[in-house]
Structures are given as C-alpha cells and as structure tokens.
Amino acid sequence: MIDIQQVIDGIRREKMIAILRGLPEDQLLRTAEALYAGGIRFIECTFDHAREDCIEANCRMIARLAGHFGGRMHVGAGTVLTCEEVDATIAAGGEFIISPNADAEVIRYTREKGAVSIPGALTPTEIVGAWKAGAHFVKVFPAGDLGVSYIKSVRAPLKHIPMLAVGGITPEIIPEYLKAGVAGFGVSGPLLPKGALETGNDQAITERARLFVSAAKG
C-alpha cells in the first residue's frame, strides 16, 4: 500500500521530480543512480503514447526502478492519460500519477486507488477544477514558457492550492519560482547534460542534479 502522506511530504521537502522521457531502458538504472547521487529522490517515468507497447514498456521501467531502489527513491508515472495507465503504474510499484492535463476522471480514480495525483493545468479554471477533483498537487505546465510573473499572478488568488512548476525550469530561475510560492518542480532534459548519456558521463549528470537540488532547497 502506498503511504500517500509520506509521498506528499517528500515532494514538499525535496521539491524536485526528475522526469525521464525517452530514456533507453539499458541506461535506466545507471542514470537513476547518477541522479540519486546528486540528491534526486523522485523520478517520473513518462508514458510514450506513440509506442504500441506504451504501457508495458513504461511500467517495466517503473518496476525496475522500484525494485532496484527498494524505497530509497520514489517512482511514479508521467503523461498518464487513462485510468488503465493508473492501474498499470500502481501495479508496477509507482506511487504518484502525473498528467499533462486535468482529467477529473483520472484524478478521482487515482485518489480511489490510493496514489498521489498530480494533474497538469495552465489556466485558473483548470487549476481550480483539478483541485476540486481531488489533486494533491497541480502541475502548472508549461511554466517556463510563461515565466514566473504568470505564476505570481495565478497564485495570488489561488495560493491555497499547492503547485509544481514544470517545463523550462533551470537552476538559475528556481529561486524566483520559490519566492512565488510553488511547492516544487518537475525537470526533464536540463537534468541530463548534452552528451552525458552517450558518453556514459554519470558524474556530469550527478553534478547537474546537485545544482538543481541545491537551488530547490535554497
């Protein structure tokens, strides 16, 4: 059974979720270990809906990570669009469900199944709708494209809703987002330095992760 409060408290404390999108499976564990060495404690494995084996492939990665880290790392799924994907994620050992959209059915189902719900939203209407449906956090996406001024404006009347900033986040701008009141961040490509995977430069990944973690924790 998922300890929902432990996951929620962990996200609030760690403030950083690493997003693994399109990562070759044979590079999964070494990349995750490099991120862990840099202080990352939450990893999202993203469903690739262009693949015919989308669910099987992603849940295989979730299961490998959950088994490998044995509780040292919290693992969940991203780009979750259906209740079927929620079930598959939880069966594989995932603890949290992240979506690019705010689907009330998926949010409620995630809650019913005992996992942490983190839907994506952009407008105040979407953010409030996701919160009313039962989201534990609302992912504001794409945060980086709109800038911190947008987050400040949205949070002014909605500061009671915990929000994660996702998309275009770098260590340099994290302090401004924290001042704006976000609860945490989701980061994908910027966590993996160009060429690091191809050359096996795990240290570069670890050092990059440390920059993000340090910025997020102030």
pLDDT band with cut points at 50, 70 and 90 for residue 194: confident
**Ramachandran bin of 69, using left for φ above 0, alpha for ψ from -120 to 50, beta for the remaining angles:** alpha
132 is catalytic: no
Which of 44, 105, 176, 194 is catalytic? The answer is: 44
56 is catalytic: no
Q: Give pLDDT, residue 212.
A: 98
Domain CATH number, residue 209: 3.20.20.70
**Ramachandran bin of 204, using left for φ above 0, alpha for ψ from -120 to 50, beta for the remaining angles:** alpha
Q: Give pLDDT, residue 193.
A: 86
For residue range 108-146, list pLDDT tens digits in order: 999 999 999 999 999 999 999 999 999 999 999 999 899
Which of 15, 85, 95, 139 is catalytic? The answer is: 139
Domain of residue 187: give its range. 4-216
Q: Give pLDDT, residue 197.
A: 83
Average pLDDT value for residue range 207-213: 97
Q: Give pLDDT, residue 17.
A: 98
Q: In terms of Cα–Cα distance, which of 113, 157, 152, 149 is closest to 131?
A: 157
- Give the chain's domain count: 1
Q: Give pLDDT, residue 196.
A: 85
Average pLDDT value for residue range 55-65: 98
pLDDT at 93 over 90: yes
Task: Report helix, strand or coil for 188.
Answer: coil
pTM over the 0.85 mark? yes
Q: Give pLDDT, residue 200.
A: 83
User: pLDDT averaged over the chain?
Assistant: 96
